[in-house]
Structure 1
Amino acid sequence: MTKLFKLSLITATLTMAAFNANATVEIYEKDGMSFSTDGLVNVFYSNSSIDETTAAGIKSDHTQSRVRTGFLPSNIGFNFSNQLSDIKIGMRSSFWVSLSDTDNNRDESPADLGTGSLVDVRQFYATVSGSWGEVLLGKDFGLYNRANILGDELLLGFGQTSEFFGLVDGNNVSFGNIATGYTYPMPKSQVTYRTPEINGFKLAVGIMDPNKVSSDSSEELPRFEAELMYNTSFDDDTSLKAWVSGVSQSSEVNDVKQNQSGIGYGINVMFSGVSLTASGYSAKGLGHVAGLDQIVGPDSIESDGYLVQAAYTIEDNRFVLTYGESETANAGNVDVVGITGDAVHSNTGVAYFRTVRPGVTLVLEYNNTEVDATDSLRAEDNDTFSIGAVVTF
């Protein structure tokens, strides 16, 4: 559970790349050199009502009201770039904090009481780019399922708070649609090359620090990830985006080779204020929450998921309908949240976003999260209402 709590803090950090272009403060810009900063703060009131069946088959209910962080952690980032003839160098660093203080563990340790901001650095990299493309060096988010989470209409919202992951009373962020439609592309040390855009296509390929399957496992090669994006516009009002991504890693444990792999995909069409998105993934040997960073066993463990969403924007108002589902077949193995065998996690949501001023957004949201893990007797039905505000600069 500790690993999942750490994961939840930085769940949506990569999504800020989408905001940075529109919400930055230029501090210095002269002779091809620039320095800027960007930031985000969000806070939500949420009320969750959970009906749960434990692994012992005992039914229980739990209701909790919180004032806490939503899907995006609050954060601040710094950006530097310098144009040197036909080469441009850049750097980005950012750190992220949780506003979700909790006394959830007050009976276990006094150290868990009070403020626990959990400052975490998840981006610290340099880029070198030119007409030939771009090379990224350092720590950034993975490529596998990156576009799936970037395309989630609930990025500025709340999403699911399954009790299976300790999210209702936890001191970190909510999960959006992680584990109910896509896996999280955990940040890794990497060297990634991105091509220039060619006829709407852009390819990224990277080698990344592998994930240890166990303390004594051998990884002879790094893990490999790739992403192919396609963007096109038919007129000023209609656009299409499509993508496919993949990941592969091999490990050896006690002279037995294990292969982990996954593929992600999706499409988004926008027209007349309407946005329609469908995405999905399929994986072997990977967890359904954090992919390679939640390896739970050999490639007999399979996970599949999909997310379908519709959004409509009119002036300063955006309305969202969403449904996501992930299904895991553990083949008798036990995963990190104690689920044995098969399990299905799903989330149904309705959200309303109101832009009060540029950089200030109000959010009203309802999510119903369901979990059915019949082999381990566990089940959950979670209704969460939330209202909050997101401020960016």
Structure 2
Amino acid sequence: MRTKERTNGSTSILWSTAVATALLAASFSPRNAAAVEVSAGDWKLTAKGNVNVYYIHSSCEDERSLGVTGGLACRGAAGEDKSSSVSNGLLPAALQIGAATTQKGLDLAVTFGFYPGISTNDGSPNLQQGATNLNTALGTTAIDMRQVFLTIGNDKIGEFMLGRNLGLFGGDAILNDMTLPGVGAGNGNYAAPANTSLGSIGLGYIYADWYAQMNYTTPNLAGFKLTVGIFDPLEPIGALISTPKSSPGYHGKIAFKSDVFYASASYMSQKQNRPLNFGDYTGHGWDIGGKVTIVGLEVLGWYYQGTGLGTTALFLFGATPLGQERDSDGFLAQITYKFGDVKLGVNYGQSKLDLASGELPSDLVEKNEKYTAGIYYSLTENLTLIGEYSDIKATAHNNIENKSDNFNIGAYLSF
């Protein structure tokens, strides 16, 4: 196949060669201590990622018992209250490709993040809408394209980020969750597994999610950085109809980093339309937290609070069918200790959802909570062997309880 080329034909050849070299290096190098880097003229191409695989065994709530709507304790199915899976953990596998250069004093970069799972799944990688019995022969796995963004800036003026990337609200909580390379809470019954588990999502923080946004981050100011931006407004999960929004969503974050301490606080706000032309309401929330690291000991805590945001995912159960906002809050507490190549850790989290004013008690979830104990062994610089045990409990507003637990063992290899 021929491609039209004008004055930059040699650059096209360099790009093609660089991409091929990067892919070959990633494929055949037995151990990669860092991301692959290849120069192509004034550009630098990088490739990095991971593959993680776990055996996950879950003991779920009996399917004959009453269920908690929005509860995260898994439930049995087809007469079975136990399930087994070979699956990804909280992270899918990943391949992140980037290109960067400096022009007229500005650092320019683009990033593409490909996140394939290993579970057979012919539908959406996460929602699995439509089909049933997806885990059959002749199936395939889907690619979750989470990241597509560009950055512009330098050390003096700060940085602009435009594109699809991780959200600010709840972002630091999930990035510092010890179960991020592992599993944490399993993703329920594994007859048709999703590509990822839950970690502590909905069990200490709301999922930050990936969405289109435009942000500006200040230069480093004595350890502080401030980020402000807008994002493509999100519809409530389960909404019967999509409605146009008159304004974008807004979010911001302030963070401080030193040698032993990291802390941040974030905020997000977005208007939602009430059904039947009953006006609109503003869903908003904030979180705050940090961690202290002294030698091998790390102590972490994060807290969030929201109105109209819901629980587990953004705008899930955030309001009644008539648009009355529900309040929510939660926290994640964690301690890890590393000695030599071994890290031991335990975390506990809970997420609570209040009823709206005048709303009657029902089987809607009031609280999801979990603790996880894990061991993380660095067999090599890039290969970590992981074993975890998690215990999950869901409680409804009418006092129904569901309980489950899961154990996982597997490996996480990054490059």
Please give the TM-score of this superposition, normalised by the length of structure 2. 0.79
Amino acid in the other structure paired with 1:180: L
The verdict on how the C-alpha distance between 1:327 and 1:170 changes in structure 2, with shifts beyond 3 A counting, is same
Indicate which of 223, 248, 261 corresponds to 1:222. 248
Partner Cα distance (2:344, 2:133) in 1: 43
The Cα RMSD (Å) is 2.9
- Quote the residue 1:350 is aligned against: 373
> Higher strand proportion, which one?
1
- Quote the residue 2:38 is aligned against: 27
Matches within 5 A, 1:9-24: 23-24=34-35
- Quote the residue 1:129 is aligned against: 153
The verdict on how the C-alpha distance between 1:348 and 1:167 changes in structure 2, with shifts beyond 3 A counting, is farther
Matches within 5 A, 1:141-220: 141-161=166-186, 163=188, 169-213=192-236, 214=239, 215=241, 217-220=243-246
- Quote the residue 1:83 is aligned against: 102
Partner Cα distance (2:310, 2:209) in 1: 12
Alignment check: 8 A CA contact 1:260 1:285 kept: yes
- Quote the residue 1:98 is aligned against: 117
User: What is the CA-CA distance between 1:54 and the residue it aligns to?
Assistant: 2.4
The verdict on how the C-alpha distance between 1:257 and 1:109 changes in structure 2, with shifts beyond 3 A counting, is closer
- Quote the residue 2:409 is aligned against: 387
Write out the 4+ residue segments of structure 1 that deviate beyond 6 Å after TM superposition: 56-61
The verdict on how the C-alpha distance between 1:342 and 1:44 changes in structure 2, with shifts beyond 3 A counting, is closer
Alignment check: 8 A CA contact 2:204 2:332 kept: yes
SS of the residue 2:356 aligns to:
strand
Partner Cα distance (1:369, 1:109) in 2: 26
2:293 aligned with 1:282? no
Matches within 5 A, 1:42-53: 42-52=52-62, 53=65
Matches within 5 A, 1:222-371: 222-233=248-259, 239-253=260-274, 254-292=277-315, 295-297=318-320, 298=323, 300-331=325-356, 340-371=363-394
% identical aligned pairs: 26
User: What is the CA-CA distance between 1:391 and the residue it aligns to?
Assistant: 0.8
SS of the residue 2:167 aligns to:
coil
- Quote the residue 2:20 is aligned against: none
- Quote the residue 1:4 is aligned against: none
Please give the TM-score of this superposition, normalised by the length of structure 1. 0.84
**Gaps spanning 5+ residues in structure 2: where?**
1-32, 70-74, 123-127
User: What is the CA-CA distance between 1:314 and the residue it aligns to?
Assistant: 1.0
Alignment check: 8 A CA contact 2:267 2:287 kept: yes
User: What is the CA-CA distance between 1:220 and the residue it aligns to?
Assistant: 1.2
User: What is the CA-CA distance between 1:256 and the residue it aligns to?
Assistant: 1.6
Partner Cα distance (1:110, 1:353) in 2: 33
User: What is the CA-CA distance between 1:341 and the residue it aligns to?
Assistant: 4.3
Deviations 1:344-365 (A, max 9, x none): 1011111000111111110011
Alignment check: 8 A CA contact 2:83 2:190 kept: no
How many pairs were matched up?
359
**Gaps spanning 5+ residues in structure 1: where?**
1-21, 234-238
SS of the residue 2:91 aligns to:
coil
Amino acid in the other structure paired with 1:356: L
Greater CA drift, 247-256 or 314-323: 247-256
Alignment check: 8 A CA contact 2:249 2:268 kept: yes
SS of the residue 1:101 aligns to:
coil
